[in-house]
Amino acid sequence: MSLEQIDELIERLERAAEQLRSGELSPDAAATMVEDCAALATQASAELERQAHAEVSHVAPGQDSLL
């Protein structure tokens, strides 16, 4: 997944948050949107973590991570 795709996920989450804050959704629609947001956030988080680990594996010799 590219950074552009992660940015797209973030935009989708932001739009969903706006809809949820508006109060215009029915309780069922809001619950479905919350579940969808959780899935999107999990997907984005997993991808960011994968990218972070990939960057750590490319550290130059002698430049070990402090974590």
Does the pLDDT of residue 61 top 70, yes or no? no
Q: Are 33 and 25 in contact (CB under 8 A)?
A: yes
Chain segment 20-45, per-residue pLDDT in tens: 999 999 999 999 999 999 998 898 88
Residue whose tokens read 């594996």: 57
Closest by CA to 34, choosing from 22, 57, 52, 17, is: 17
Q: Which pLDDT score, from 0 to 100, does residue 10 have?
A: 87
Q: Which pLDDT score, from 0 to 100, does residue 59 have?
A: 60
